[in-house]
A and B are shown apart, each in its own frame.
Chain A
Amino acid sequence: MLRLIARRILGTIPVLFVVATITFFMMKAVPGGPLDTEKNIPQEIKVQIEAFYGLDQPLWKQYASYMGNLLRGDLGPSFKHANRSVNELIAAALPVSLELGGLALCVALLVGIPLGVVAAIRQNTWIDYLASSSAMVGICMPTFVMGPLLVLVFALQFELFNASGWDFARDRVLPALTLGLVYAGYIARLTRGGMLEVLNQDFILTARAKGASEARVVFRHALQGGLLPVVSFLGPAIAGILTGSFVIETIFNIPGLGRHFVTSVFNRDATLTIGTALFYAALIVVLNLAADIAQVMLNPKQRVE
């Protein structure tokens, strides 16, 4: 097991190297640069700024020096945020993204799993239809519709929350709901499917035959197996919750990482783009690994293998 983990972690190094290289050259290849502005910067001034950022060097030298700094853990200075380093920007935005993602994940699990379980044990009744169709609505409703809708109702109509911002505890509610409900929909459907599969198996019949209570059957015997599809979904889902929050961050004006990830490309802020891309790549690799480990721990079949 430990060997497996070590091997997987070592395997991420070439992945990150490739991500950094590809992003670096892609950012160089796109038209327009960080110093292109509507008001022209005179050539003699542009030369000075380019020299400061090393943009006057040949491409291979820029690449070599970027990679050299990267090895030391230095992601370089940002162009757009002129007196901040990419490390600082990520360090400042990460806790916000983690908090938002964590809360959204709670919403997704707390809403999704019960919904899926109820739908499964009441299969083909109106409860199942109601649960399944609300899950479907959650999946289909894009966040850029759900977010403003929640704001309209709870912030502007009932005035319970602020329409945007990240200052008070109550500011977390609407963004976490918006982001979480989409994933709750997926989780509900996966839970329902997983539960149905398990509930039809012989050992459940055995448990019932032995007189185990329905609660015991569902929560002790069935749920563990029923949640397996959810667990394997969670790896990429958590990464998605953390990276896919660009829309939410824009709608609610949250100072998270998702915005840097997208706006840095528009600003041609190459160092910030590479920095966030690398960070997300690492995150996805680690979370997938964690999901695999959880799978193994939950599934006796895999444990043997």
Chain B
Amino acid sequence: MRYKTNRCSIRVLACAALAGLVLVAGCSKPPTRVSVGNQEQILHKGNGSDPQELDPHIVQGVTEHNILQALFENLVTEDPTDLRPVPGQAERWDISPDGTVYTFYLREGIRWSNGDPVTAHDFVHSYRRALTPSLGSEYAYMYFVMQGAEDYFKGKTQDFSSVGAKALDDRTLRITLNGPVPYFLSLLNHYSWWPVHLPTLARHGDPYRRNNRWTRPGNFVGNGPFVLARWEVGHVIVAKKNPHYWNAANVKLSEIHFHPIESADTEERSFRSGQLHVTAAVPLSKIPAYRRDNPQLLHIDPYLGAYFYRINTTRAQFRDKRVRQALAMAIDRKTIVENVTRGGQLPAYFFTPPDTAGYTSRAAIRYDPGGARKLFAQAGYPGGKGFAPFEILYNTSEGHKSIAEAIQQMWKKELGIDVKMLNQEWKVYLDTEKSKDYDVSRAGWIGDYADPSTFLETFLAESGNNRTGWANAEYDRLLKEAARLGDRQARYELFQKAEAIFLDEMPVIPIYHYTRVYLLDPSVRGWRPTILDHHPYQHVWLESPAASLARASAAAQRP
């Protein structure tokens, strides 16, 4: 009796388990998001974390840029291959002979996504908003090249007509700069300069304050090739094709879905299961496997960024530049990029990435352990004797840790010094670095636009991003002089001199120049490597390899 019922209950359990399996098996292979996307021209992009906002005058980050680029268009836009400024909302422009006055002529019939015409006045109103102090636009200083912008922002005048932005009529906009800014058109491709639709902002709150609800789906109005349709925090942001966009006929994608996936491992698995066309990153540990088995999916593009170590020059032991030079010369960068980072990064022997808008530093540091030892001895520390142990500060990350360990070993081996590692959580690390409570600290710098100034000006004495305590009057003078020059060659010569001083003084140790490492499905077309990782979406489309093969063979059969 007892055994019988027990068997019964076990049978029930077994049946339940079987039913479960059948259910699972019943859900046979569903079509993947990528294959559906290819048919309907819906691009699925992994996009790191959630954007802070979708208001171009408030945000600060790459994540945000990736989305904003779909939703807005400035006077100029970017060429999909080399990011050179090409006509956007403006069909053409004139530049005065002295390079200080830009006159933009808007296209006829351009519209916001709600159907309102885009006028030159919209641009002026937008600039005024971005420069209004109460908004606290984090990139307001990007406008300081424009006449009167800094004074207006700092409250020295309340009169916006003193600022060099004038709408001459509905379709003509004149911008007057403080001096010639040869990279001004590239600067316009930074989102801080993009226009917003003021009447929409006014409808959903105070246009000149934060926490305006205009960027919510339904409220949103933009002028880009796509318009915001859905925004669910932590889930997805959907941009749909904007029928009012001037070049809508040539926009092939119907939707872009931005998926905020913070974990690179999760993102990689999603890519493998056919849920993403393109990822934001690739886990370090997976790079070798992709190189070996699926090199066609792995993309490594040069990226406008430098990975480096800051040296706290206010600390007694780092005051002597020979010490700083020796530390830099003892690092074998080739070993680091080949064995530690493994993402095709370039060993950095100068700070500004090579070929930044045609500029490559002539001055360079060498990998020279013998020379490093000599310098170290000259500074009073033969064989590292007497040099107090110090710490490398880095924020939590497997990659930063591995690099720090490699450098720790190199310094120990070549210079005989003891280095400890100090790992801090991101915000603590930022706080430590800003209050100069560190010895040596890992850092990264990504250019805002393609010009050497975005790198070199970081280390001006008054720059909030300097954080090394290093200041050099001649360096500052050269850069400030370069800012006043219109001639590219003359500017670059000044940058060469400045960078030579910088590398001789060595307040930071360049380690490598970044690459963008990501996975890309072969069905994505028109996605070209660019130095800022910008991919103007109006030039992107989807075509499965099978479909493109069929198209090619049909074309071949045609007489």
A-to-B contact residues, CB < 8 Å:
30-33, 36-46, 48-49, 51-52, 77, 80-84, 89, 92-93, 114, 117-118, 121-122, 127, 148, 151, 154-156, 159-166, 168, 170, 173, 213-215, 218, 250-256, 259-260, 263, 266-268
Give the residues in chain A near B335, CB-CB below 8 Å: none
Q: How far is the CB of B45 from chain A (nearest CB, A)?
A: 14
User: Any chain A CB within 8 A of the CB of B292?
Assistant: no
Q: Given A45-B137, A45-B138, A83-B215 in contact, is the A31-B6 Cβ separation under 8 Å?
A: no
- Complex CA gap A260/B269 in Å reads 22
Q: Is the CB of B266 within 8 A of A163?
A: yes
- Complex Cα gap A213–B8 (Å): 12
**Structural contact, A170 and B27, CB atoms closer than 8 A:** yes
| Minimum distance in angstroms from A237 CB to a CB of chain B | 23
Partner of B273 from A40, A163, A254 at Cβ < 8 Å: A163
Chain B residues lying within 8 Å of A49, measured Cβ to Cβ, are 136, 138, 210
Chain A to chain B: the 8 pairs with minimum beta-carbon distance, closest first:
A32-B427, A40-B464, A255-B234, A48-B136, A163-B273, A49-B136, A214-B5, A163-B269
- The distance from the CB of A87 to the nearest CB of chain B, in whole angstroms, is 13
Q: How far is the CA of A255 from the CA of B259 in the complex (A)?
A: 11
What are 6 A-to-B residue pairs whose CB atoms are below 8 Å? A40-B434, A48-B134, A80-B52, A164-B266, A215-B9, A263-B262
Collect the chain B residues with CB atoms within 8 Å of residue A114's CB.
Answer: 13
Task: Name the distance in Å between A224's Cβ and chain B's nearest Cβ.
Answer: 17
- B6 x A214 contact (CB < 8 A): yes
Choose among A39, A52, A214, A255 the residue that contacts B465 (Cβ–Cβ < 8 A): A39
Q: Using an 8 Å CB-CB cutoff, how does the interface string of B210-224 with A read, 1 for contact, 0 for none?
A: 111101100000000
1/0 per residue, CB under 8 A from A, across B12-55: the answer is: 01000000000011011110010000000000000000101101
A148 vs B137: C-alpha distance when bound (angstroms):
41
Contact status A81-B233, CB under 8 Å: yes
Any chain A CB within 8 A of the CB of B60?
A: yes
The interface residues of chain A lying within 8 Å CB-to-CB of B209 are 52
Contacting residues, chain A, for B2 (C-beta < 8 A): 214
> Could you say which residues of chain A place their CB within 8 Å of the CB of B426?
32, 266
In the complex, the answer to whether A83 meets B216 with C-beta atoms within 8 Å is yes
Within 8 A of A (CB), among B495-523: none
What is the CA–CA distance of A155 and B274 in the complex, to the nearest angstrom?
10
A148 in complex: contacting residue of B5, B6, B265, CB < 8 Å = B265
Pick from A48, A218, A255: contact of B232, CB under 8 Å = A255
| CB-nearest residue of chain B to A77 | B211
B10 at the interface (CB under 8 A from A): yes
Known: A41-B60, A41-B464, A48-B133. 16 other contacts (CB 8 A): A32-B426, A32-B428, A36-B427, A37-B138, A38-B430, A46-B136, A52-B209, A80-B50, A82-B211, A148-B269, A163-B269, A163-B270, A164-B266, A165-B275, A168-B30, A170-B30
Q: Is B154 an interface residue (CB 8 A)?
A: yes
Q: Mark B428-439, 1 if CB is under 8 A from A, else 0.
A: 111110100000
Instruction: Choose one: A44, A52, A160, A260; the contact of B24 (CB below 8 Å).
Output: A160
Provide the bound-state CA to CA distance between A224 and B273, in Å.
45
Interface string of B43-74 (1 = CB under 8 A from A): 00000001011010010100000000000000
B135 touching A36, Cβ below 8 Å: no
Q: Report whether B434 and A36 are in contact in the complex, using a CB–CB cutoff of 8 Å.
A: yes
Contact present for B233 and A89 (CB under 8 Å): yes
B92 within 8 A of partner (CB): no
**Contact of B58 with A82 in the complex, beta carbons under 8 Å:** yes
- The interface residues of chain B lying within 8 Å CB-to-CB of A45 are 136-138, 140-141
Whether B233 pairs with A93 at a CB distance below 8 angstroms is: yes
- Of chain B, the residue at the smallest CB distance from A165 is B275
Cβ contacts under 8 Å, A77 to chain B: 211
A253 and B270 form a contact (CB under 8 A) = yes
Which A residue sits closest to B437, measured CB to CB? A31
Q: How far is the CA of A263 from the CA of B213 in the complex (A)?
A: 23
CB distance from B157 to the nearest CB of A (A): 15
B385 at the interface (CB under 8 A from A): no
* B210 pairs with A31, CB closer than 8 A: no
How distant is the Cα of A166 from the Cα of B266 in the complex, in angstroms?
Answer: 13
- Chain A contacts of B154 at CB under 8 A? 44
How near does chain A come to B61, taking the closest CB pair, in angstroms? Answer: 8
List residues of chain A with CB within 8 A of the CB of B30.
162, 168, 170
Which residues 449-475 of B have a CB within 8 angstroms of A?
Answer: 463-465
Q: Which single residue of chain A is at the shortest CB-CB distance from B140?
A: A45
| Beta-carbon contact of A253 and B136 below 8 Å | no
Q: Is B84 an interface residue (CB 8 A)?
A: no
A260 surroundings in chain B (CB, below 8 A): 234
A38 B444 Cβ-Cβ under 8 A: yes
Identify which of B10, B235, B260 gathers the most chain A CB atoms within 10 Å of its CB. Answer: B235
Provide the bound-state CA to CA distance between A36 and B9, in Å: 61
Is A250 within 8 A of B262, CB to CB?
Answer: yes
- The answer, among B4, B210, B234, for a CB contact under 8 Å with A259, is B234
Q: Are B273 and A156 in contact (CB under 8 A)?
A: yes
Give min CB distance, B365 to chain A, whole Å: 24
Taking the closest CB of chain B, its distance from the CB of A67, in whole angstroms, is 21
Instruction: Say whether A162 contacts B233, CB under 8 Å.
Output: no
**Residues on the A chain within 8 Å of B101, using CB:** none
Shortest distance between the CB of A111 and any CB in chain B (Å):
10
